[in-house]
Chains A and B, each alone.
Chain A
Protein backbone atom coordinates (compact mmCIF):
# COMPACT_ATOMS: atom_id res chain seq x y z
CA UNK A 1 0.00 0.00 0.00
CA UNK A 2 1.59 3.22 -1.14
CA UNK A 3 0.53 6.77 -0.62
CA UNK A 4 1.85 9.73 -2.56
CA UNK A 5 1.08 13.02 -0.89
CA UNK A 6 1.59 16.44 -2.42
CA UNK A 7 1.23 19.10 0.27
CA UNK A 8 0.83 22.84 -0.21
CA UNK A 9 2.61 22.64 -3.54
CA UNK A 10 3.52 25.83 -5.36
CA UNK A 11 5.49 26.04 -8.57
CA UNK A 12 6.58 29.43 -9.86
CA UNK A 13 8.40 29.74 -13.16
CA UNK A 14 10.88 32.57 -13.48
CA UNK A 15 10.55 33.51 -17.11
CA UNK A 16 11.09 36.95 -18.55
CA UNK A 17 10.09 39.96 -16.49
CA UNK A 18 7.22 38.55 -14.45
CA UNK A 19 7.25 35.26 -12.54
CA UNK A 20 4.47 32.89 -13.57
CA UNK A 21 2.65 30.94 -10.89
CA UNK A 22 1.70 27.55 -12.34
CA UNK A 23 0.60 25.98 -9.06
CA UNK A 24 -0.49 27.74 -5.92
CA UNK A 25 -0.90 25.78 -2.68
CA UNK A 26 -2.15 22.51 -4.16
CA UNK A 27 -2.86 19.42 -2.04
CA UNK A 28 -3.29 16.04 -3.68
CA UNK A 29 -3.18 12.44 -2.47
CA UNK A 30 -2.83 9.32 -4.59
CA UNK A 31 -3.02 5.85 -3.00
CA UNK A 32 -2.67 2.31 -4.28
CA UNK A 33 -5.82 0.85 -5.78
CA UNK A 34 -7.52 4.08 -6.80
CA UNK A 35 -7.78 6.07 -10.00
CA UNK A 36 -7.70 9.80 -9.37
CA UNK A 37 -8.78 12.05 -12.21
CA UNK A 38 -7.08 15.42 -12.56
CA UNK A 39 -8.99 17.75 -14.85
CA UNK A 40 -8.55 21.32 -15.98
CA UNK A 41 -7.95 23.27 -19.16
CA UNK A 42 -4.66 24.11 -20.88
CA UNK A 43 -2.60 26.24 -18.54
CA UNK A 44 -4.42 25.10 -15.40
CA UNK A 45 -1.22 23.48 -14.13
CA UNK A 46 -2.23 19.84 -14.44
CA UNK A 47 0.85 18.73 -16.40
CA UNK A 48 3.12 20.64 -14.01
CA UNK A 49 1.47 18.78 -11.14
CA UNK A 50 1.91 15.43 -12.91
CA UNK A 51 5.62 16.11 -13.45
CA UNK A 52 6.06 17.06 -9.78
CA UNK A 53 4.31 13.84 -8.74
CA UNK A 54 6.96 11.70 -10.44
CA UNK A 55 9.91 13.87 -9.49
CA UNK A 56 10.56 15.25 -12.98
CA UNK A 57 10.29 18.71 -11.50
CA UNK A 58 10.62 20.19 -8.02
CA UNK A 59 8.09 22.46 -6.30
CA UNK A 60 9.03 26.04 -5.45
CA UNK A 61 7.31 25.44 -2.10
CA UNK A 62 5.63 22.45 -0.50
CA UNK A 63 6.47 18.78 -0.16
CA UNK A 64 6.00 15.74 -2.38
CA UNK A 65 6.20 12.66 -0.16
CA UNK A 66 5.92 8.94 -0.79
CA UNK A 67 4.79 7.06 2.32
CA UNK A 68 5.80 10.02 4.44
CA UNK A 69 9.30 10.40 2.99
CA UNK A 70 10.28 13.21 0.63
CA UNK A 71 10.36 12.03 -2.99
CA UNK A 72 13.56 13.88 -3.81
CA UNK A 73 16.59 14.75 -1.70
CA UNK A 74 17.88 18.26 -1.15
CA UNK A 75 19.61 18.31 -4.52
CA UNK A 76 16.46 17.19 -6.34
CA UNK A 77 17.63 13.64 -6.99
CA UNK A 78 15.45 10.61 -6.44
CA UNK A 79 16.67 7.38 -4.93
CA UNK A 80 16.54 4.63 -7.54
CA UNK A 81 14.32 2.57 -5.23
CA UNK A 82 11.85 5.46 -5.03
CA UNK A 83 11.95 6.15 -8.75
CA UNK A 84 10.97 2.54 -9.37
CA UNK A 85 7.72 2.92 -7.45
CA UNK A 86 6.23 5.90 -9.29
CA UNK A 87 6.20 5.78 -13.07
CA UNK A 88 4.77 7.94 -15.83
CA UNK A 89 2.97 7.53 -19.16
CA UNK A 90 2.97 10.50 -21.54
CA UNK A 91 0.39 11.81 -23.98
CA UNK A 92 2.18 11.16 -27.26
CA UNK A 93 3.40 7.56 -27.32
CA UNK A 94 5.50 8.06 -30.45
CA UNK A 95 7.38 10.96 -28.87
CA UNK A 96 8.00 8.98 -25.68
CA UNK A 97 9.92 6.15 -27.41
CA UNK A 98 13.42 6.23 -28.84
CA UNK A 99 12.68 5.96 -32.58
CA UNK A 100 15.83 3.94 -33.21
CA UNK A 101 15.30 1.35 -30.47
CA UNK A 102 12.95 -1.62 -30.78
CA UNK A 103 9.82 -1.49 -28.66
CA UNK A 104 11.00 -4.54 -26.71
CA UNK A 105 14.37 -2.88 -26.13
CA UNK A 106 12.65 0.19 -24.70
CA UNK A 107 10.50 -1.92 -22.38
CA UNK A 108 13.63 -3.81 -21.27
CA UNK A 109 15.56 -0.64 -20.44
CA UNK A 110 14.02 -0.07 -16.99
CA UNK A 111 14.69 -3.77 -16.26
CA UNK A 112 18.37 -3.19 -16.97
CA UNK A 113 18.40 -0.15 -14.70
CA UNK A 114 16.33 -1.45 -11.82
CA UNK A 115 16.78 -5.23 -11.75
CA UNK A 116 19.63 -7.71 -11.99
CA UNK A 117 17.84 -9.92 -14.51
CA UNK A 118 20.10 -11.31 -17.21
CA UNK A 119 19.38 -10.85 -20.89
CA UNK A 120 17.28 -13.97 -21.25
CA UNK A 121 15.17 -13.26 -18.18
CA UNK A 122 14.68 -9.69 -19.35
CA UNK A 123 13.41 -10.97 -22.67
CA UNK A 124 10.85 -13.24 -21.06
CA UNK A 125 9.83 -10.46 -18.66
CA UNK A 126 9.26 -8.12 -21.64
CA UNK A 127 7.04 -10.78 -23.22
CA UNK A 128 5.09 -11.05 -19.95
CA UNK A 129 4.63 -7.30 -19.74
CA UNK A 130 3.49 -7.09 -23.35
CA UNK A 131 1.01 -9.91 -22.85
CA UNK A 132 -0.28 -8.23 -19.69
CA UNK A 133 -0.98 -5.04 -21.62
CA UNK A 134 -2.69 -6.87 -24.47
CA UNK A 135 0.19 -6.77 -26.94
CA UNK A 136 1.48 -9.66 -29.00
CA UNK A 137 5.07 -10.29 -27.77
CA UNK A 138 6.11 -10.83 -31.39
CA UNK A 139 5.89 -7.04 -31.77
CA UNK A 140 8.91 -6.62 -29.47
CA UNK A 141 11.36 -6.46 -32.35
CA UNK A 142 9.48 -3.69 -34.18
CA UNK A 143 10.45 -0.05 -34.17
CA UNK A 144 7.96 2.35 -32.53
CA UNK A 145 6.74 3.79 -35.83
CA UNK A 146 5.67 0.31 -36.99
CA UNK A 147 3.06 0.14 -34.22
CA UNK A 148 -0.31 1.85 -34.17
CA UNK A 149 -0.92 4.62 -31.65
CA UNK A 150 -2.98 2.34 -29.42
CA UNK A 151 -0.39 -0.44 -29.52
CA UNK A 152 2.39 1.98 -28.74
CA UNK A 153 0.52 3.54 -25.83
CA UNK A 154 0.03 0.07 -24.38
CA UNK A 155 3.76 -0.53 -24.88
CA UNK A 156 4.39 2.71 -22.96
CA UNK A 157 2.26 1.34 -20.12
CA UNK A 158 4.15 -1.98 -20.31
CA UNK A 159 7.42 -0.06 -20.00
CA UNK A 160 6.09 1.90 -17.03
CA UNK A 161 5.01 -1.35 -15.37
CA UNK A 162 8.44 -2.96 -15.88
CA UNK A 163 9.68 -1.70 -12.51
CA UNK A 164 6.50 -2.96 -10.79
CA UNK A 165 5.49 0.51 -9.65
CA UNK A 166 2.82 1.09 -7.03
CA UNK A 167 1.66 4.29 -8.67
CA UNK A 168 1.31 5.41 -12.27
CA UNK A 169 0.93 9.00 -13.44
CA UNK A 170 -0.71 9.22 -16.87
CA UNK A 171 -0.73 12.59 -18.66
CA UNK A 172 -3.53 12.57 -21.26
CA UNK A 173 -2.78 8.96 -22.19
CA UNK A 174 -5.74 8.54 -24.57
CA UNK A 175 -6.02 12.05 -26.01
CA UNK A 176 -4.23 11.10 -29.22
CA UNK A 177 -5.99 7.75 -29.70
CA UNK A 178 -8.94 6.74 -31.86
CA UNK A 179 -12.12 5.70 -30.08
CA UNK A 180 -11.55 2.10 -31.18
CA UNK A 181 -8.30 1.81 -29.22
CA UNK A 182 -9.06 4.32 -26.46
CA UNK A 183 -11.31 1.79 -24.70
CA UNK A 184 -8.53 -0.84 -24.72
CA UNK A 185 -6.15 1.47 -22.87
CA UNK A 186 -8.80 2.57 -20.38
CA UNK A 187 -9.88 -1.01 -19.68
CA UNK A 188 -6.23 -1.93 -19.15
CA UNK A 189 -5.87 0.75 -16.46
CA UNK A 190 -9.04 -0.42 -14.74
CA UNK A 191 -7.76 -4.01 -14.84
CA UNK A 192 -4.35 -3.03 -13.42
CA UNK A 193 -6.06 -1.19 -10.61
CA UNK A 194 -8.24 -4.18 -9.73
CA UNK A 195 -5.71 -6.97 -10.21
CA UNK A 196 -2.50 -5.37 -9.01
CA UNK A 197 -3.78 -2.58 -6.82
CA UNK A 198 -2.12 0.01 -8.99
CA UNK A 199 -2.84 3.63 -8.10
CA UNK A 200 -3.32 5.89 -11.12
CA UNK A 201 -3.26 9.66 -11.42
CA UNK A 202 -5.11 10.24 -14.68
CA UNK A 203 -4.59 13.72 -16.11
CA UNK A 204 -7.12 14.67 -18.78
CA UNK A 205 -9.34 17.36 -20.16
CA UNK A 206 -11.86 14.76 -21.38
CA UNK A 207 -14.75 14.81 -18.93
CA UNK A 208 -16.52 11.93 -20.65
CA UNK A 209 -13.56 9.69 -19.83
CA UNK A 210 -12.87 10.91 -16.31
CA UNK A 211 -16.52 10.66 -15.35
CA UNK A 212 -16.46 6.92 -16.04
CA UNK A 213 -12.91 6.09 -15.02
CA UNK A 214 -12.02 7.98 -11.87
CA UNK A 215 -12.85 6.96 -8.32
CA UNK A 216 -12.13 10.52 -7.27
CA UNK A 217 -11.64 13.66 -9.34
CA UNK A 218 -9.71 16.83 -8.64
CA UNK A 219 -10.54 19.97 -10.62
CA UNK A 220 -7.65 22.32 -11.17
CA UNK A 221 -8.19 25.90 -12.25
CA UNK A 222 -5.49 28.51 -12.64
CA UNK A 223 -3.07 26.55 -10.48
CA UNK A 224 -5.50 25.85 -7.65
CA UNK A 225 -7.72 22.96 -6.69
CA UNK A 226 -11.23 24.39 -6.87
CA UNK A 227 -13.23 21.22 -6.34
CA UNK A 228 -12.73 17.58 -5.48
CA UNK A 229 -15.30 14.82 -5.44
CA UNK A 230 -16.09 11.14 -5.71
CA UNK A 231 -16.42 9.48 -9.13
CA UNK A 232 -19.46 10.41 -11.15
CA UNK A 233 -21.00 12.10 -8.12
CA UNK A 234 -18.92 15.24 -8.63
CA UNK A 235 -20.38 15.70 -12.11
CA UNK A 236 -23.94 15.07 -11.07
CA UNK A 237 -23.79 17.98 -8.72
CA UNK A 238 -20.79 20.27 -9.26
CA UNK A 239 -20.73 23.09 -6.74
CA UNK A 240 -17.91 25.36 -7.88
CA UNK A 241 -18.85 27.77 -10.71
CA UNK A 242 -15.77 26.78 -12.66
CA UNK A 243 -16.66 23.07 -12.49
CA UNK A 244 -20.20 23.94 -13.52
CA UNK A 245 -18.92 25.98 -16.47
CA UNK A 246 -16.56 23.19 -17.48
CA UNK A 247 -19.41 20.69 -17.42
CA UNK A 248 -21.71 23.01 -19.37
CA UNK A 249 -19.17 23.56 -22.16
CA UNK A 250 -19.00 19.90 -23.21
CA UNK A 251 -21.16 18.87 -26.16
CA UNK A 252 -23.50 16.21 -24.79
CA UNK A 253 -25.39 15.20 -27.87
CA UNK A 254 -28.05 17.05 -29.78
CA UNK A 255 -29.18 19.83 -27.52
CA UNK A 256 -26.92 22.75 -26.55
CA UNK A 257 -25.89 24.21 -29.90
CA UNK A 258 -29.10 23.41 -31.71
CA UNK A 259 -31.14 25.11 -29.02
CA UNK A 260 -28.95 28.18 -29.12
CA UNK A 261 -28.97 28.28 -32.90
CA UNK A 262 -32.73 28.32 -32.88
CA UNK A 263 -32.89 31.11 -30.33
CA UNK A 264 -30.23 33.09 -32.15
CA UNK A 265 -27.86 33.26 -29.21
CA UNK A 266 -24.91 31.94 -31.13
CA UNK A 267 -23.40 35.38 -31.55
CA UNK A 268 -19.87 35.44 -32.83
CA UNK A 269 -18.76 32.87 -30.33
CA UNK A 270 -17.60 35.55 -27.98
CA UNK A 271 -18.46 35.22 -24.32
CA UNK A 272 -21.51 32.99 -24.42
CA UNK A 273 -23.10 33.13 -20.99
CA UNK A 274 -21.94 29.78 -19.65
CA UNK A 275 -18.36 29.85 -20.91
CA UNK A 276 -16.80 31.27 -17.83
CA UNK A 277 -13.09 30.84 -18.13
CA UNK A 278 -12.75 31.86 -21.76
CA UNK A 279 -9.53 32.36 -23.65
CA UNK A 280 -8.85 35.36 -21.45
CA UNK A 281 -8.12 33.27 -18.39
CA UNK A 282 -5.31 31.36 -20.01
CA UNK A 283 -4.15 34.16 -22.26
CA UNK A 284 -2.26 36.30 -19.83
CA UNK A 285 -5.28 37.32 -17.78
CA UNK A 286 -6.40 40.00 -20.21
CA UNK A 287 -10.01 39.02 -19.96
CA UNK A 288 -10.98 37.59 -16.63
CA UNK A 289 -14.54 36.73 -16.04
CA UNK A 290 -14.09 34.68 -12.91
CA UNK A 291 -12.31 35.93 -9.85
CA UNK A 292 -10.07 33.83 -7.66
CA UNK A 293 -12.97 32.23 -5.85
CA UNK A 294 -14.64 31.49 -9.15
CA UNK A 295 -17.31 34.18 -8.90
CA UNK A 296 -18.52 35.55 -12.19
CA UNK A 297 -17.37 39.02 -13.09
CA UNK A 298 -18.84 41.21 -15.77
Chain B
Protein backbone atom coordinates (compact mmCIF):
# COMPACT_ATOMS: atom_id res chain seq x y z
CA UNK B 1 0.00 0.00 0.00
CA UNK B 2 1.27 3.46 -0.88
CA UNK B 3 2.09 5.51 2.19
CA UNK B 4 -0.47 8.18 3.00
CA UNK B 5 2.39 10.54 3.85
CA UNK B 6 5.89 10.90 2.48
CA UNK B 7 7.78 13.95 3.69
CA UNK B 8 11.33 14.36 2.45
CA UNK B 9 14.07 16.72 3.55
CA UNK B 10 11.73 19.32 5.01
CA UNK B 11 13.64 22.44 6.00
CA UNK B 12 11.78 25.49 7.24
CA UNK B 13 13.38 28.83 8.02
CA UNK B 14 11.89 32.03 9.39
CA UNK B 15 13.32 35.49 8.67
CA UNK B 16 15.04 37.26 11.56
CA UNK B 17 14.91 41.03 12.10
CA UNK B 18 18.65 41.29 11.35
CA UNK B 19 18.15 39.86 7.88
CA UNK B 20 19.28 36.35 8.75
CA UNK B 21 17.23 33.18 8.89
CA UNK B 22 16.32 30.94 11.79
CA UNK B 23 16.01 27.35 10.71
CA UNK B 24 13.20 25.80 12.73
CA UNK B 25 13.47 22.35 11.16
CA UNK B 26 16.23 20.77 9.15
CA UNK B 27 16.03 17.88 6.69
CA UNK B 28 13.13 16.12 8.32
CA UNK B 29 12.00 12.87 6.67
CA UNK B 30 8.76 11.19 7.69
CA UNK B 31 6.55 8.53 6.18
CA UNK B 32 3.36 6.94 7.38
CA UNK B 33 0.97 4.27 6.12
CA UNK B 34 -2.78 4.26 6.52
CA UNK B 35 -4.03 2.82 9.78
CA UNK B 36 -0.82 3.73 11.59
CA UNK B 37 0.06 6.28 14.27
CA UNK B 38 3.28 8.27 14.32
CA UNK B 39 4.07 10.32 17.41
CA UNK B 40 6.38 13.29 17.09
CA UNK B 41 7.79 14.18 20.48
CA UNK B 42 10.04 16.96 21.68
CA UNK B 43 9.97 20.14 23.70
CA UNK B 44 8.99 23.71 22.88
CA UNK B 45 11.17 24.95 20.06
CA UNK B 46 12.19 21.48 18.86
CA UNK B 47 10.36 22.09 15.57
CA UNK B 48 7.58 19.52 15.88
CA UNK B 49 4.74 21.98 15.40
CA UNK B 50 6.58 23.59 12.48
CA UNK B 51 6.72 20.18 10.78
CA UNK B 52 2.98 19.78 11.25
CA UNK B 53 2.16 23.29 10.06
CA UNK B 54 4.35 22.84 6.98
CA UNK B 55 2.43 19.68 6.03
CA UNK B 56 -0.90 21.43 6.59
CA UNK B 57 0.11 24.52 4.63
CA UNK B 58 -0.26 26.72 7.68
CA UNK B 59 3.15 28.38 7.73
CA UNK B 60 3.24 32.15 7.32
CA UNK B 61 4.01 33.39 3.82
CA UNK B 62 7.44 34.71 4.78
CA UNK B 63 8.68 31.27 5.84
CA UNK B 64 11.21 29.64 3.54
CA UNK B 65 10.19 26.03 2.94
CA UNK B 66 12.12 23.39 1.03
CA UNK B 67 11.60 19.66 0.69
CA UNK B 68 8.83 17.55 -0.77
CA UNK B 69 5.50 16.28 0.49
CA UNK B 70 3.55 13.42 -1.04
CA UNK B 71 0.07 12.60 0.16
CA UNK B 72 -1.71 9.33 -0.67
CA UNK B 73 0.76 8.71 -3.48
CA UNK B 74 -0.04 12.11 -4.99
CA UNK B 75 2.03 15.15 -5.94
CA UNK B 76 5.23 16.15 -4.33
CA UNK B 77 5.20 19.93 -4.76
CA UNK B 78 2.63 20.54 -2.06
CA UNK B 79 5.06 22.39 0.17
CA UNK B 80 5.49 25.14 -2.41
CA UNK B 81 3.79 28.38 -1.35
CA UNK B 82 0.36 28.72 -2.89
CA UNK B 83 -0.02 24.99 -3.52
CA UNK B 84 -1.24 24.39 -0.03
CA UNK B 85 -4.49 26.17 0.62
CA UNK B 86 -6.50 24.24 -2.00
CA UNK B 87 -4.46 21.09 -2.25
CA UNK B 88 -3.66 20.23 1.33
CA UNK B 89 -5.65 22.01 3.96
CA UNK B 90 -8.96 20.32 4.59
CA UNK B 91 -9.22 17.97 1.65
CA UNK B 92 -6.63 15.34 2.36
CA UNK B 93 -5.39 16.46 5.73
CA UNK B 94 -7.47 16.97 8.82
CA UNK B 95 -5.84 19.14 11.46
CA UNK B 96 -6.60 19.18 15.18
CA UNK B 97 -5.13 21.80 17.49
CA UNK B 98 -4.23 21.94 21.15
CA UNK B 99 -6.82 24.48 22.20
CA UNK B 100 -10.23 23.29 20.99
CA UNK B 101 -11.86 26.52 22.15
CA UNK B 102 -9.66 28.63 19.90
CA UNK B 103 -10.15 26.41 16.86
CA UNK B 104 -13.94 26.83 16.79
CA UNK B 105 -15.65 30.01 15.67
CA UNK B 106 -17.45 31.31 18.78
CA UNK B 107 -20.32 32.87 16.81
CA UNK B 108 -20.98 29.83 14.63
CA UNK B 109 -23.16 26.93 15.75
CA UNK B 110 -20.91 23.88 16.01
CA UNK B 111 -22.97 22.05 13.41
CA UNK B 112 -22.33 24.90 10.98
CA UNK B 113 -18.58 24.68 11.56
CA UNK B 114 -18.62 21.00 10.64
CA UNK B 115 -21.14 21.49 7.81
CA UNK B 116 -19.03 24.22 6.22
CA UNK B 117 -16.11 21.82 5.82
CA UNK B 118 -18.43 19.12 4.46
CA UNK B 119 -19.97 21.58 1.99
CA UNK B 120 -16.64 22.81 0.67
CA UNK B 121 -14.80 19.52 0.47
CA UNK B 122 -17.58 17.09 -0.38
CA UNK B 123 -19.53 19.52 -2.55
CA UNK B 124 -22.69 19.03 -0.49
CA UNK B 125 -25.68 21.37 -0.48
CA UNK B 126 -26.87 23.13 2.65
CA UNK B 127 -29.25 20.47 3.92
CA UNK B 128 -27.03 17.54 3.04
CA UNK B 129 -24.03 19.24 4.65
CA UNK B 130 -25.97 19.78 7.89
CA UNK B 131 -27.09 16.15 7.86
CA UNK B 132 -23.47 15.08 7.31
CA UNK B 133 -22.43 17.30 10.21
CA UNK B 134 -24.95 15.68 12.57
CA UNK B 135 -23.74 12.23 11.50
CA UNK B 136 -20.15 13.21 12.16
CA UNK B 137 -20.99 14.66 15.58
CA UNK B 138 -22.64 11.35 16.40
CA UNK B 139 -19.57 9.53 15.11
CA UNK B 140 -17.22 11.43 17.41
CA UNK B 141 -19.36 10.67 20.45
CA UNK B 142 -21.44 13.82 20.91
CA UNK B 143 -24.66 12.80 22.66
CA UNK B 144 -27.91 13.96 21.09
CA UNK B 145 -26.03 15.29 18.05
CA UNK B 146 -29.09 16.70 16.24
CA UNK B 147 -29.72 19.04 19.15
CA UNK B 148 -26.08 19.71 20.02
CA UNK B 149 -25.34 20.77 16.43
CA UNK B 150 -27.32 23.94 17.13
CA UNK B 151 -25.25 24.84 20.19
CA UNK B 152 -22.56 27.48 20.20
CA UNK B 153 -19.05 26.45 21.32
CA UNK B 154 -19.30 28.14 24.72
CA UNK B 155 -22.06 25.68 25.68
CA UNK B 156 -19.64 22.77 25.32
CA UNK B 157 -16.94 21.45 27.65
CA UNK B 158 -13.32 21.27 26.51
CA UNK B 159 -13.64 17.59 25.67
CA UNK B 160 -16.80 18.14 23.64
CA UNK B 161 -15.19 21.02 21.76
CA UNK B 162 -12.26 18.80 20.84
CA UNK B 163 -14.74 16.19 19.59
CA UNK B 164 -16.38 18.86 17.40
CA UNK B 165 -12.95 19.90 16.10
CA UNK B 166 -12.29 16.26 15.21
CA UNK B 167 -15.66 16.05 13.44
CA UNK B 168 -14.76 19.15 11.42
CA UNK B 169 -11.40 17.60 10.52
CA UNK B 170 -13.19 14.40 9.39
CA UNK B 171 -15.69 16.33 7.26
CA UNK B 172 -12.99 16.76 4.63
CA UNK B 173 -12.67 12.97 4.41
CA UNK B 174 -8.92 13.09 5.06
CA UNK B 175 -6.54 10.18 4.66
CA UNK B 176 -4.24 11.80 7.16
CA UNK B 177 -4.95 13.52 10.47
CA UNK B 178 -2.42 15.85 12.02
CA UNK B 179 -3.03 16.43 15.71
CA UNK B 180 -0.98 19.02 17.60
CA UNK B 181 -1.08 18.25 21.34
CA UNK B 182 -4.80 17.38 21.03
CA UNK B 183 -5.19 16.32 24.66
CA UNK B 184 -2.75 18.62 26.46
CA UNK B 185 -5.48 21.03 27.53
CA UNK B 186 -7.75 18.24 28.71
CA UNK B 187 -8.15 16.28 31.94
CA UNK B 188 -6.86 12.74 32.25
CA UNK B 189 -10.25 11.11 31.72
CA UNK B 190 -11.28 13.34 28.84
CA UNK B 191 -7.81 12.84 27.37
CA UNK B 192 -8.35 9.10 27.50
CA UNK B 193 -11.65 9.44 25.62
CA UNK B 194 -10.19 11.66 22.91
CA UNK B 195 -7.25 9.28 22.41
CA UNK B 196 -9.75 6.40 22.20
CA UNK B 197 -11.68 8.29 19.55
CA UNK B 198 -8.62 9.11 17.46
CA UNK B 199 -7.45 5.49 17.60
CA UNK B 200 -10.91 4.28 16.60
CA UNK B 201 -10.67 6.46 13.47
CA UNK B 202 -7.23 5.02 12.73
CA UNK B 203 -8.38 1.43 13.22
CA UNK B 204 -11.80 1.64 11.58
CA UNK B 205 -11.34 4.22 8.81
CA UNK B 206 -7.69 3.49 8.18
CA UNK B 207 -6.58 7.10 8.40
CA UNK B 208 -2.96 7.83 9.22
CA UNK B 209 -2.40 9.87 12.38
CA UNK B 210 0.55 12.11 13.15
CA UNK B 211 0.36 13.00 16.82
CA UNK B 212 2.51 15.80 18.17
CA UNK B 213 2.95 15.53 21.91
CA UNK B 214 5.42 16.34 24.64
CA UNK B 215 4.07 13.45 26.71
CA UNK B 216 6.16 10.32 26.34
CA UNK B 217 3.54 8.23 28.13
CA UNK B 218 0.85 9.26 25.64
CA UNK B 219 3.19 8.58 22.72
CA UNK B 220 4.13 5.17 24.09
CA UNK B 221 0.52 4.24 24.75
CA UNK B 222 -1.00 5.13 21.38
CA UNK B 223 1.71 5.30 18.69
CA UNK B 224 3.10 2.62 16.42
CA UNK B 225 6.19 4.65 15.79
CA UNK B 226 7.87 7.53 17.62
CA UNK B 227 10.16 10.22 16.24
CA UNK B 228 12.05 12.34 18.77
CA UNK B 229 12.93 15.87 17.70
CA UNK B 230 15.66 18.06 19.13
CA UNK B 231 16.72 21.46 17.83
CA UNK B 232 14.87 21.05 14.53
CA UNK B 233 16.04 17.56 13.66
CA UNK B 234 14.82 14.05 14.24
CA UNK B 235 17.42 12.54 16.54
CA UNK B 236 15.76 9.20 17.13
CA UNK B 237 13.04 7.23 15.40
CA UNK B 238 11.70 3.74 15.71
CA UNK B 239 8.94 1.41 16.88
CA UNK B 240 7.18 3.00 19.86
CA UNK B 241 8.02 0.20 22.22
CA UNK B 242 11.72 0.29 21.34
CA UNK B 243 11.96 4.07 21.71
CA UNK B 244 10.17 4.04 25.07
CA UNK B 245 11.85 0.99 26.56
CA UNK B 246 15.30 1.24 24.98
CA UNK B 247 15.99 4.83 23.91
CA UNK B 248 19.33 5.12 22.08
CA UNK B 249 20.02 8.85 21.86
CA UNK B 250 21.23 10.47 25.11
CA UNK B 251 18.59 13.17 24.66
CA UNK B 252 15.83 10.57 24.37
CA UNK B 253 17.25 8.84 27.44
CA UNK B 254 17.20 12.15 29.35
CA UNK B 255 13.66 12.90 28.13
CA UNK B 256 12.49 9.51 29.35
CA UNK B 257 14.22 10.15 32.68
CA UNK B 258 12.50 13.52 33.12
CA UNK B 259 9.05 12.14 32.30
CA UNK B 260 6.91 11.55 35.35
CA UNK B 261 4.71 8.66 34.35
CA UNK B 262 1.92 7.76 36.70
CA UNK B 263 1.98 4.45 38.48
CA UNK B 264 4.52 2.06 39.91
CA UNK B 265 6.50 4.67 41.82
CA UNK B 266 8.33 3.43 44.87
CA UNK B 267 9.82 6.82 45.72
CA UNK B 268 8.44 9.17 48.35
CA UNK B 269 7.58 12.83 47.96
CA UNK B 270 11.12 13.74 48.92
CA UNK B 271 12.67 12.17 45.84
CA UNK B 272 14.32 14.85 43.71
CA UNK B 273 12.97 15.22 40.20
CA UNK B 274 15.52 14.47 37.47
CA UNK B 275 16.30 17.71 35.68
CA UNK B 276 16.86 17.95 31.96
CA UNK B 277 18.78 20.90 30.56
CA UNK B 278 16.65 23.00 28.22
CA UNK B 279 17.52 23.11 24.55
CA UNK B 280 19.70 25.79 23.06
CA UNK B 281 17.75 27.64 20.35
CA UNK B 282 20.90 28.14 18.28
CA UNK B 283 21.21 25.40 15.71
CA UNK B 284 24.78 24.41 14.95
CA UNK B 285 25.23 22.99 11.48
CA UNK B 286 28.48 21.18 11.90
CA UNK B 287 28.03 19.61 15.31
CA UNK B 288 25.51 17.61 17.29
CA UNK B 289 23.08 20.15 18.76
CA UNK B 290 22.83 18.17 21.98
CA UNK B 291 26.61 17.99 22.49
CA UNK B 292 26.84 21.00 24.85
CA UNK B 293 24.45 19.26 27.27
CA UNK B 294 25.32 15.66 26.58
CA UNK B 295 27.01 13.65 29.34
CA UNK B 296 28.61 11.40 26.71
CA UNK B 297 29.86 14.08 24.31
CA UNK B 298 33.29 13.51 22.78
CA UNK B 299 35.36 15.74 20.47
CA UNK B 300 33.82 14.19 17.40
CA UNK B 301 30.31 15.26 18.52
CA UNK B 302 31.42 18.89 18.52
CA UNK B 303 32.95 18.75 15.07
CA UNK B 304 30.90 16.28 13.01
CA UNK B 305 27.11 16.09 13.15
CA UNK B 306 25.98 12.46 13.41
CA UNK B 307 23.46 11.39 10.74
CA UNK B 308 20.23 9.58 11.60
CA UNK B 309 21.30 5.99 11.09
CA UNK B 310 19.60 2.64 11.68
CA UNK B 311 20.94 0.95 14.80
CA UNK B 312 18.63 -1.95 15.43
CA UNK B 313 15.54 -3.32 13.64
CA UNK B 314 14.03 -0.08 12.33
CA UNK B 315 15.29 1.87 15.32
CA UNK B 316 17.46 4.78 14.21
CA UNK B 317 19.41 7.40 16.12
CA UNK B 318 21.58 10.37 15.22
CA UNK B 319 24.37 9.87 17.72
CA UNK B 320 27.99 8.79 17.61
CA UNK B 321 27.51 7.02 20.94
CA UNK B 322 23.99 5.68 20.38
CA UNK B 323 22.88 3.19 22.99
CA UNK B 324 25.66 4.01 25.45
CA UNK B 325 23.61 6.22 27.78
CA UNK B 326 22.13 4.27 30.65
CA UNK B 327 18.33 4.63 30.80
Contacts and interface: CB of A to CB of B under 8 A. Distances in A.
Contacts of A232: 265-269
A257 interface: yes
A114 interface: no
Nearest to B276: A180
A267 B188 CA distance: 18
A277 B189 contact: yes
A246 B272 CA distance: 25
A52 B265 CA distance: 32
A183 B260 CA distance: 9
Contacts of B240: 254
Contact of B244 (A179, A253, A270): A253
Contacts, number: 185
A190 B189 CA distance: 28
Given A266-B203, A275-B193, A278-B189, A252 B157 contact: no
A231 B187 contact: no
B76 to A, nearest CB: 32
Contacts of B203: 261, 264, 266
B241 A179 contact: no
A257 B196 contact: yes
Interface stretch (A68-76, A100-108, A135-143, A281-289): A281-289
Interface stretch (B6-14, B85-93, B215-223): B215-223
B244 A250 contact: no
Contacts of B277: 180
A212 B269 contact: yes
A82 interface: no
Sort chain B's interface into a size bin.
35 or more
A281 B255 CA distance: 35
A272 B196 contact: yes
Nearest to A253: B220
Contacts of B44: 149, 178
Nearest to B195: A257
B275 A183 contact: yes
Interface of A: 35, 41-43, 148-150, 178-184, 186-187, 190, 194, 205-209, 211-215, 231-232, 235, 245-247, 249-258, 260-261, 264, 266-270, 272, 275-280, 282-283, 286-287
7 contacts: A180-B277, A182-B260, A212-B265, A231-B268, A250-B262, A267-B200, A269-B193
Interface of B: 43-44, 139-141, 143, 156-160, 187-200, 203, 214-215, 217-218, 220-222, 240-241, 244-245, 255, 258-279
